Amino acid sequence: MTEKPVLTLKDLSIEFPTPQGVVQAVKALSLDIHKGRRVGFIGESGSGKTTTALAVMQMLAEPGRVAGGTIDLGGTNVLDLDEDQMRRTRLSRVAYIPQGAMNSLNPVMRVEPQMWDGIIAHEGKLDRAELKRRSDAALESVGLPQHTADLYPHELSGGMKQRVCIAMGIILNPELIIADEPTSALDVVTQRQVMQTLKAIQSEIGSGLMLIGHDMGLMAQTVDELAVLKDGELVEHGTVQQILEAPKHPYTRDLISSVPLVGGESFLNPDARAKAPERASAEPLLRFEDVRKNYGAVTALHPMSFTLQGDTPQIISIVGQSGSGKSTMGSIMLGFNPPSEGRVLFEGQDVARMSAAQSLDFRKNVQAVFQDPYACFNPFYRVNHALKFPFKQFGLAKSDAHTQTAMEEACDAVGLDPDLVLNRYPHQLSGGQRQRLIVARALMLSPKLLIADEPVSMVDASLRASILSNIYDLKDKYGISILYITHDLATAYHVSDYVMVLFKGHVVEAGPPKEVIGAPQHPYTKLLIDSIPWPDLHRSWGDGRQDWDPVKLEAEAAKARSIYRGIVPGFDLQEA
């Protein structure tokens, strides 16, 4: 590679002065990005990947500053540019595609004038026909129909908005495109489509691409080179092939192994099967009788009936995209959200019609782990409040010392050091620690049923496997039945005894995971599985084909009949 690189970072250091002292966000990072190459920056939150990108754009948030090193953008030292020169450099030479496309577009402007803004700012006033020609060309290149130009952002779907952002980014043919987790808010099907668009357009204009992300699978399917960052340091850099096949740094190995594969090795330990606790009632643990949920005219959940016996602990997975009705099911089971029709029975008792005592008993026996570990703790209290309070409330505490030992045991069980975490405030803990504490909280109460609603989707990738195995162990060690709600088919494949695939409020395929996810038959399940990026270089996932059209595939899926696969004892789903 003799050509001059598009971007050269040399000994780049970035620091943030804070009350606790200066934080080194990026430490002596050196890296080249060549023309036409796609370089992935991978690392956990706080590893400095976004900070590096913002430094290239000279958009570091106050009080951060570049402490040392140089940023060379195709021969220009970015750090020497003044504010006005930098403004002209942005977009024309470096384009930035932000994380939340839904918030990046002006909601009161149509798409077209927003695209023109960039051109006018850099090239002065052009005539309307020329502007129109260029914005149409940009939209076409990201595979959006012409009429998109006249729409307002709220009329577009998340994936379309992200593609509009890409179109705006490339409209001036920049030398470098920086894409900061461009698909993190999108579901897998849309993610695949957006990444394909991005790859296609990048190779078309031949610019360098800096893709920031935390998903090893997505990286493997998208980029040519990978830079692994940890705590602001570049720990490993090489081609994807090198890194995936022979990772040198232990952190890289962790990242690769933390991606669960369908059919791959399980990350769970299969031993220690406990018996379910003796159940006093012969009634099934949980029963849905023709449960239906409407939000106004929209039916979020079509009538569904199933029975979870609960004599042997089982994990039932409910998978689907956002909007499939899976979280609605979760809140109906918890009694937060009454069903529009039908009944939910817990041990033979209608959840909606319970006396105060029965309700307290139901609360003790049905616990939950929610998606957002940041919101689950009251910021006013130390975290032990969240563990102590329910323990006392349900009359499980014999004395304060007993509560303390129970908390410490629960922390140990999820792999946390009780002395370190229990007396902290929530903001002092990481997302992973908080989510484990929520699992520990559930464990202390020893419920009969645990509803885990996307428990790991907001946690760093390297921690996902360990938190899931914490939850999995609950089932075996403590005999808790678990309903696992997720969009992640690979984890569902490993942890569950039975899988239901939801699509627009209907169950489209259900059965044991080895059959449903291992060998899908329903077109929708196939579509979902095809869309998951795996760290497997030989898969044709994001090869830039434009003929892969999820809209058409979804329409086909909607016509297909539901498929019921094998039966698992203890769980009975009634065929609709």
Partner 1 sequence: MTSQDHLPPTRAEKRQAKRIKRFDNPWMNPKLIWGAALLLGIIAMGIIGRFVWDPDLVFTGSSMLRLPPVGFENLRGQAGSMANPLGTDGGGRDVLALIIIGAPNTLFVGLLASLIGMSIGIFLGFSAGFLGGRTDDIIRVSADVMITIPPLLILVVFQSAFGDVSLTMMALLIAGFVWQSPTRLIRAQVLSMKQSGYVQMAQLSGASTSHIMFREMMPNLVPYLFGSFIASVTTSIVTAVGLEVLGLGPQRIPTLGRTIYEAINAGALIQNLWWWWGIPTLLLAIIFIGLLLINLGLDEVSNPRLRRLS
570 is a site residue for partner 1 (CB under 8 A)? no
Instruction: Quote the least distance from Cβ 121 to partner 1, whole Å.
Output: 28
Q: How far apart are CA 365 and CA 394, in angstroms?
A: 10
Rule CB under 8 A: say whether 127 interacts with partner 1.
no
Say which DSSP state 59 is in. Answer: -
Please provide residue 558's backbone torsions phi and psi, each rounded to the nearest 5 degrees: -65, -25
Please give the residues from 335 up to 354 whose contact with partner 1 meets the rule CB under 8 A: 336
Residue 437 in contact with partner 1, rule: CB under 8 A: no
Count CB-CB contacts under 10 A for residue 402: 12
# chain residues binding partner 1, by CB under 8 A: 32
Q: Please tell me whether residue 496 binds partner 1 under the rule CB under 8 A.
A: no
For position 265 contacting partner 1 by CB under 8 A, the verdict is no
Name the one range near partner 1 by CB under 8 A: 264-272, 374-382, 495-503, 526-534. Answer: 374-382
Q: Using CB under 8 A, pick the residue from 140, 372, 409, 412 that binds partner 1.
A: 372
* Rg value, the chain, Cα: 26
d(CA 75, CA 94): 13
Asked if 393 interacts with partner 1 (CB under 8 A), we say yes
**Strand 498-503 to 65-73 pairing:** unpaired
- C-alpha 427 chain-centroid distance: 21
Q: How far is the CB of 404 from partner 1 (least distance, A)?
A: 18
Q: Which of 223, 217, 242, 239 is nearest to 38 (CA)?
A: 223
- Closest CB 360 distance from partner 1, rounded Å: 5
Q: Which of 389, 408, 512, 562 binds partner 1 (CB under 8 A)?
A: 389
**Which stretch in 53-61, 74-82, 367-375, 494-502 sits in contact with partner 1 by CB under 8 A?**
367-375
Name the helix (H) or strand (E) containing 15. Answer: strand 7-18
Q: How far is the CB of 20 from partner 1 (least distance, A)?
A: 9
Who's near 264: CB < 8 A, 6+ residues apart? none
Q: Are 179 and 212 within 8 A, CB to CB?
A: yes
CA 407 to chain centre: 29
Tell me which residues in 296-335 interact with partner 1 (CB under 8 A). 334
Taking the least distance from each CB to partner 1, the nearer of 103 and 146 is 103
Kindly tell me which residue out of 61, 379, 559, 561 binds partner 1, with binding defined by CB under 8 A: 379
Compute the least distance from the CB of residue 400 to partner 1, in Å: 18
Q: Would you say 107 or 380 has its CB closer to partner 1?
A: 380
From candidates 45, 59, 63, 155, binder to partner 1 by CB under 8 A = 63
In terms of Cα–Cα distance, which of 196, 233, 191 is closest to 213? 191
**What type of residue sits at position 397?**
A
Closest CA relative to residue 327, chosen from 451, 450, 436, 493: 451
Interface pick for partner 1 out of 116, 251, 377, 484 (rule CB under 8 A): 377
CA–CA dist 263, 276 (Å, integer): 28
Which residues sit at the interface with partner 1, rule CB under 8 A?
11, 17-19, 62-63, 68, 334, 336, 359-360, 363-364, 367-368, 370, 372, 374-381, 386, 389-390, 393-394, 438, 441
